[in-house]
A and B are shown apart, each in its own frame.
Chain A
């Protein structure tokens, strides 16, 4: 059992949204988790929340160790494949107000629009552009999606230890109906908490991005990773996202997650 301070949390299979996914520790019959899909379903179930809000600090470390900081505020309404999210930069000053609207779907990739106040315009992020880096970070646009468990097939590969915690090692492969830059992902899910510990995303046979989860704390009964670190393996750069002022089940309205809403500063 996790002590609630250490351990990992994160994305279930390639059930994405590393920024929002959390894991609830509860008594769970391990026998029910005999196969990979059940494990992932349980991990997803434990992260259900009506809404979520946090302030994030993004620290980008390039291969030479140079750091640049960005901050954003994040609000999400709904969970998993039914959710909508708005992410708005609050720092540095020159990107203040830039916003991304993500509308997730249970059966396909999300729709995404970016609002750029300097030109007073929104722009749809096309599916073929989702593999590019999001605003100079090591997260791609696709990594900001939250996808449903049903969009992947799962295979239980092995039992392994990550940061001292026993984990299931599961392979998730996107179904043909879904478009993804990743051909498959390897996911480590902790056996004690069903929290995600690590994800490695592959393009063909190579790991292209690795996501580690750390600093798990209980927030309103939901165990949440407070620090996520994405590494771009080819570039050698990494981006650390630290979550602050995290709240669940806050009062958010559907009309705050529209193209009209992201125009408002």
Chain B
């Protein structure tokens, strides 16, 4: 068994992290003269314990540290600037060694320091323009988000993902009940994949001795664009969207090389167009949410398919309950190997429930079951706040199933997680 290795950076890292954060805040404060300034951030330390070894990863305890700070400045009623930075450390080589400020979010490892947000928002009447590095979310569902095409994720832990920001321009006009939105991204941001040498890249036990080598990614140069029309009615809402760009989830090209035997994996991101729709309709008992997108591609190596999800939501008493079904219909099958958690979770029933015990404590349960029962995922979480700043969260994740199922392949990755967060 291999335990957690020491935090990279040690005392020097801690000092640098604190200095950088302080510098960012002080710079912002210095620029602000009686302007509206808001700030939020947190320091989060987590420990993951995996009871089972994975064939390609002997490490069973992983420590992770994240310091995040975001500042928002509003020098005029029509103008707002936003800036945010993430500083990271990890005990299991999931963070780059080099100290650099990463703007692109294109690296295989998480950057030590990454710009999370750097944008300006202009508002004039019904028009809002966001320019810069930002987060753009489309769609209404949670369990799978077919129309959310500007929201790449960090999949280093496949069942505990985080959104990545994108760089570009978003314009929105809200005219009464209608909102028209246009997005243009000059530069592509891919999702961050599980590391090929770690447990979230599942490999068969008898192939664990063959090294998987990341041969890099063929990142597309072109820009991406999308438009969306959303209507808010009395008690219901819906939207239609169109996206022309690249899939932030890659096709994987596999090349087996002899002497020494190794497998080289190359990522490519096919051009896609999606035609999407989403809706939310409250009924007497539940809010029914639906979202679907038709994915087409000019690439000879990308499937064409419809991804859809139907989800029910209800809050009652202290409970928040969400459940739904995600499905897929492939119209043209072309690709061989893809990393596509969104498609991997299709033909599944997914449910989530959270219960607020009191103002400081809550519990949550989450589960997914493939309809053929080949894969099962379950999570339980307890969270408690202490005072105005501290929160402790303990969770357990159980994963089971067959090796050839998207969920089942991670059956050795059941784990416990404990995290302590200080929000400021």
Contact = CB atoms under 8 A, between A and B. Distances in A.
A128 B421 contact: no
B318 interface: yes
The 4 closest A-B pairs by CB, nearest first: A93-B423, A126-B282, A129-B315, A68-B359
A94 B314 contact: no
A124 B360 CA distance: 24
A136 interface: yes
Contacts of B317: 132
A129 B385 contact: no
A60 B424 CA distance: 21
B234 interface: yes
B421 A94 contact: yes
B358 A62 contact: yes
A94 B391 contact: yes
Contacts of B72: 264-265
B11 interface: no
B382 interface: no
Contacts of A93: 40-42, 388-389, 423-424
Interface of B: 38, 40-42, 70, 72, 74, 77, 80, 82, 121, 123, 125-126, 128, 135, 137, 163, 172, 174, 179, 232, 234-235, 237, 280, 282-287, 313-318, 356, 358-360, 385, 388-389, 391, 421, 423-424
A5 interface: no
A259 B283 CA distance: 22
A7 interface: no
A118 B235 CA distance: 25
Contacts of A119: 137, 163
Contacts of B174: 255, 258-260
Given A96-B38, A132-B316, A253-B77, A69 B388 contact: yes
Given A94-B389, A108-B234, A132-B315, 12 more contacts: A62-B359, A66-B359, A93-B388, A97-B40, A111-B232, A111-B234, A128-B287, A133-B356, A253-B77, A259-B174, A260-B174, A265-B82
Interface string A53-72: 00000001010001011000
A91 interface: yes
Given A94-B423, A265-B80, A129 B287 contact: yes
Contacts of B74: 264
A73 to B, nearest CB: 10
A129 B359 CA distance: 19
A221 interface: no
Contact of A124 (B280, B286, B359): B280
A91 B38 contact: no
Given A126-B313, A129-B287, A136-B356, A120 B42 contact: no
A178 to B, nearest CB: 13
Contacts of A108: 234
Contacts of B126: 255, 258
Contacts of A259: 174, 179, 232
B295 to A, nearest CB: 22
Residue in A92, A97, A126, A129 with the greatest tally of chain B CB atoms within 10 Å = A126
28 contacts: A66-B359, A68-B385, A91-B388, A92-B389, A92-B423, A93-B42, A93-B389, A94-B421, A124-B280, A124-B282, A126-B282, A127-B235, A128-B286, A129-B287, A132-B315, A132-B317, A136-B356, A255-B125, A255-B126, A259-B174, A259-B179, A260-B174, A261-B123, A264-B74, A264-B80, A265-B40, A265-B80, A265-B82
Given A120-B135, A121-B137, A133-B318, A66 B38 contact: no
A206 to B, nearest CB: 15
Contacts of A127: 235, 282
Place the interface of chain A in its size category.
35 or more
A239 B191 CA distance: 43
A100 B41 CA distance: 21
Interface in A127-174: 127-129, 132-133, 136-137
B316 A94 contact: no
Residue in B282, B286, B358 with the greatest tally of chain A CB atoms within 10 Å = B358
Nearest to A62: B358
Nearest to B237: A124
B421 A120 contact: no
Nearest to A90: B38
Contacts of A69: 388
A261 B315 CA distance: 25
A94 B315 contact: no
A126 B356 CA distance: 19
A102 to B, nearest CB: 14
A254 B219 CA distance: 43
Contact of A260 (B38, B179, B286, B318): B179
Given A92-B389, A120-B137, A126-B287, A97 B38 contact: yes
A92 B356 CA distance: 17
